[in-house]
Amino acid sequence: MSFKLLVFDWDGTLMDSEARIVACIQSAFADLGEMPPPREVAREVIGLGLEEAMTMLWPDGSVQQRRELVDRYRFHFLGGNETASSLFPGARELIEDLNQRGLLLAVATGKSRRGLESALASTGLRGQFHATRCADETFSKPHPEMLLQVMEELGADQAETLMIGDTEFDMAMARNAGVAALAVAYGVHDLERLLRHDPIDCVHEFGELRDWLERNLED
C-alpha cells in the first residue's frame, strides 16, 4: 500500500491511558458534588474533545457547570491524579522505526494541546511527529477538520493517508475525510463498533499493529 502519511490517535492507540482518564473524569464530578459516572460510562467518551465529552456525560448540566467540570478534569489530569499511564509496549520503537523509514507521522487527538504536549514530553516522543492536532485547536472528532488540516500541512492527499485509532470517533473521522482507517481493538471501543465504519483492517494487539504496518507499507 502506498501510504506516506500515518496519523495516529493518542489515547488507547499509542498510550495506555484509559484508567487515568476515567479516574480524572470521576474525580472532576466528585469535586462538583455530583455522582461520578461508572467506568463503563466514562470510558465511552475517550477520544472526544473535553467539551463534547463532558456534554455527553452531563447533558443536564449548565454550560457553566460543564466548564467547571472541564477545569477540574484538567487539574486532575495534568498533575492532581497519580493513576499511572504509559505507552503500549513497543510504541516508542515503532514510531522511531517508522520515522527512520521516511514516513510522515502525525497525531490527531481529542486531548488538549497542553495535555498532548505534556504526554509527548513525558514519553520522549516530542520531535517524532511531523504534525499534531488537538481538539481544542479545531473541531472534535468525528468532524474531519483536524485530519484535513494535517494532510494539508504535510502535503498528503486522501489516497496517501492512513488514520490509525481505537474508537469509532477515529473511524468516522477518517471516513468523513475520505481516507482509509486501520482499527485497533486493544483500546476503548470493541471490534463490533469499529467495524461499523468499514476500516480497511483491524488489529487486536499492539504487536499486531507493528506486524501489519511492516507487511502493508511500501518502502
pTM: 0.92
Residue from 132, 134, 46, 123 nearest 87 by CA? 123
Instruction: Please check the confidence at residue 219 and state whether its pLDDT lies above 60.
Output: no
Number of compact structural domains in the chain = 2
Same domain, 100 and 12: yes
Same domain, 94 and 119: yes
Catalytic, out of 9, 16, 166, 170: 9
Same domain, 204 and 116: yes
Same domain, 133 and 164: yes
Mean pLDDT of 34-63: 93
CATH number of the domain residue 116 falls in: 3.40.50.1000
Same domain, 30 and 108: no
Residue with cell 486532575: 76
> What is d(CA 153, CA 8) in angstroms, rounded to the nearest whole number?
16
Same domain, 41 and 141: no
> What is d(CA 43, CA 118) in angstroms, rounded to the nearest whole number?
21
| End position of a domain, from candidates 80, 111, 130 | 80
CA 188, 189, 194, 197 dihedral sign is: negative
Same domain, 189 and 92: yes
Q: What angle do CA 134, 164, 145 make, to 5 degrees?
A: 40
Same domain, 126 and 140: yes
| End position of a domain, from candidates 48, 80, 112 | 80
Same domain, 105 and 56: no
| End position of a domain, from candidates 62, 80, 98 | 80
9 catalytic? Reply is: yes
Under the banding of pLDDT at 50, 70 and 90, the label for residue 121 is: very high
Mean pLDDT of 176-203: 95
- Find the domain containing 58 and state its range: 18-80
Instruction: Please check the confidence at residue 70 and state whether its pLDDT lies above 80.
Output: yes
Could you read off the pLDDT of 122-168 as tens digits, one per residue? 899 989 999 999 999 999 999 999 999 999 999 999 999 999 999 99
Q: Which residues pair with 164 in a beta bridge?
A: 8, 182
Same domain, 113 and 35: no
> What is d(CA 171, CA 150) in angstroms, rounded to the nearest whole number?
16
Q: What pLDDT score does 80 carry?
A: 72
CB 45 within 8 A of CB 57: yes
Catalytic, out of 11, 16, 166, 170: 11
11 catalytic? Reply is: yes
Same domain, 161 and 130: yes
CATH number of the domain residue 49 falls in: 1.10.150
Same domain, 94 and 171: yes
